[in-house]
């Protein structure tokens, strides 16, 4: 079945630095990619939706200059957390959808800790 590879699975970074998270669709073309943030014991919060080759659409309250999303190819999307601060520590999850297909495939998530 469809697989989305998300890396890294865990990252610890210093406050003020930037962190890049990658999601790759391994056996299908991810025309749409969704980026989520999940707080402990809470549901997923959609941060942004991106279509290949287009600018991402951010949800209300999500800073687009802080959470940079690039979806330059049909198999790769990246989320860069810029100038990270401790409050950005969270679990980030990507999800990909192929055009015309009904399903969503999720990456295994990235645990970001900013110290």
The answer to the question of residue 108 lying near another protein (CB under 8 A) is: yes
For another protein, the closer of residues 82 and 111 by Cβ is: 111
* Region 38-97 residues binding another protein, contact defined as CB under 8 A: 41-44, 46, 49, 51, 57, 93, 95, 97
Contacts of 110 (CB under 8 A, 6+ apart): 6, 7, 8, 9, 10, 11, 21, 91, 92, 93
12-20, 35-43, 72-80, 81-89 -> range binding another protein (CB under 8 A): 35-43
The span from the CA of 56 to the CA of 6, in Å, is: 18
- Per rule CB under 8 A, is residue 18 in the interface with another protein? no
For residues 30 and 95, what is the distance between their CA atoms, to the nearest angstrom?
9
CB 81 within 8 A of CB 66: yes
Binding site for another protein (CB under 8 A): 6, 32, 34, 41-44, 46, 49, 51, 57, 93, 95, 97, 102-104, 106-109
């Amino acid at each position: 079945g469809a697989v989305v590879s998300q890396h890294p699975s865990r990252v610890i970074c210093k406050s003020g630095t930037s962190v890049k998270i990658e999601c790759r669709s391994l056996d299908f073309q991810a025309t749409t990619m969704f980026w989520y943030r999940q707080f402990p014991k809470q549901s997923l919060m959609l941060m942004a939706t991106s279509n290949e080759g287009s600018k991402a659409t951010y949800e209300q309250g999500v800073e687009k200059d802080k959470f940079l999303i690039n979806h330059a190819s049909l198999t790769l999307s990246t989320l860069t957390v810029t100038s990270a601060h401790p409050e950005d520590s969270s679990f980030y999850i990507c999800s990909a959808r192929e055009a015309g297909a009904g399903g969503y495939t999720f990456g295994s998530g990235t645990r970001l800790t900013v110290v």
